[in-house]
Amino acid sequence: MTDISIAVVPVAGIGTRLLPATKSQPKEMLPVGRKPVVQYVVDELTRVGLQRLLFITGPSKTSIENHFDIDAELIQVLRESGKEDLLAELSFERAPIQYFYTRQRQLLGLGHAVSCARPFVGDQPFVVALGDSIIGLNAQSDVVRRMSRCFVETGADAVIAVEEVPHAEIRHYGVAMPKTTGDIFELADVIEKPTLEDAPSNLAIAARYVFSPTIFDALEQIQPGSGGELQLTDAIRLLIQNGGKVYGLRLHNHERRYDIGTFDSYFRAFVEFALADEKHGATLRTYLEELLRKAA
Ligand code: UTP
């Protein structure tokens, strides 16, 4: 259990890099193996004891709300047609978590999306979990619990998850400049989408954050940055410049971040999760091996 009870899950982005798949459905609802991306995110947050979840959403995202509702009609249909065994697939509808939704009315970037949570969060610490990123195969990760512990023990203003990425990919991420060493370290700076020459390390921010409400003041002060958007990374940078304590916490080796933002990463994630499927993984493996042998 954590002392922090609120998680904010931004899902308002329009996912242009995944068009046409995302034309009329949210990228956060794309299936990876058996479940939509955002269900893995909610599973992860529920498992570490978060109790209230605020989605920052948008007009084309109502299927996310529908997905987490209790669907009495579907339950009845399954019962009446003798498919009661399938009810287990809907057990997530009863997760011990309360859902809230607010719309980001202008798509001004991730920093702006997080600032939309201010009236809900008030003066409490909170988690931010990006709705398009799964941490660990089948979301087997307690990184948010470890981050929350670090946040409480150090009295930090922010704790961010980081993972090592290949140098060629650094320019796609927010990148950390560590001040100290170790699996948990203090940060001297963070830079959004640096060039390879400007990158202070190969530690990329990995879609999970714990913040004190001081982040909201920082978000109000920043100007549009990379891509003309209000960048969350720039607000974290300002926190540090204003003397705030910000820590980085490395993901464990088994906790890779699956960023469902491009087709390359989406395809890889899907194949990896499908191969790990208890029922169909083994036959898929045989099929793929055969396919690759024929193509060689
Ligand atoms: P991305 O940075 O991948 O942005 O979002 P995007 O706009 O969805 O994707 P592209 O670049 O057009 O392909 C990371 C997470 O932040 C949310 C997204 O929904 C995603 O879960 N987000 C992003 C918002 O909620 N609001 C925004 O303005 C931007």
Nearest of 204, 206, 187, 193 to residue 244 by alpha carbon: 187
Distance CA 177, CA 185 (A): 10
Which residue range(s) make up the domain with 246? Answer: 6-295
Give nearest CA residue, ligand 1 atom 22.
Answer: 13
Q: What pLDDT does residue 135 have?
A: 98
Distance CA 65, CA 226 (A): 30
What is the whole-number distance in angstroms between the Cα of residue 276 and the centre of ligand 1? 28
Start-to-end CA span in the chain (Å): 50
Contact 55, 100 (CB under 8 A): yes
**CA angle at residue 116 from 110 to 122, to 5 degrees?**
125
Q: What pLDDT does residue 40 have?
A: 98
What is the whole-number distance in angstroms between the Cα of residue 15 and the centre of ligand 1? 6
Q: What pLDDT does residue 2 have?
A: 47
Mutate to test the pocket of ligand 1, among 102, 104, 130 (most ligand atoms within 8 A of CB): 130
Mean pLDDT of 78-101: 92
Contact 22, 60 (CB under 8 A): no
> Residue 221's domain is classified under what CATH number?
3.90.550.10
Q: What pLDDT does residue 3 have?
A: 79
Q: What pLDDT does residue 296 have?
A: 83
What is the whole-number distance in angstroms between the Cα of residue 214 and the centre of ligand 1? 23
The CB of 172 under 6 Å from ligand 1? The reply is no
Q: And the tokens for 113?
A: 């999306």
Helices within the chain (DSSP H only): 37-47, 62-68, 72-80, 110-115, 118-121, 143-154, 214-221, 232-241, 263-275, 281-295
Residue 197 lies in a domain: yes
Residue 1 lies in a domain: no
The CB of 131 under 6 Å from ligand 1? The reply is yes
The CB of 130 under 6 Å from ligand 1? The reply is yes
- Whose tokens are 């020459």? That residue is 197
Residue 283 lies in a domain: yes
Mean pLDDT of 148-162: 97
Tell me: pLDDT of 250 over 50: yes
What is the whole-number distance in angstroms between the Cα of residue 26 and the centre of ligand 1? 10
Distance CA 91, CA 190 (A): 40
**Binning pLDDT at 50, 70 and 90, where does residue 226 land?**
confident
Residue 120 lies in a domain: yes
What is the whole-number distance in angstroms between the Cα of residue 288 and the centre of ligand 1? 32
The CB of 107 under 6 Å from ligand 1? The reply is yes
Better-predicted residue by pLDDT, 41 or 88 = 41
Say how many domains are in the chain: 1
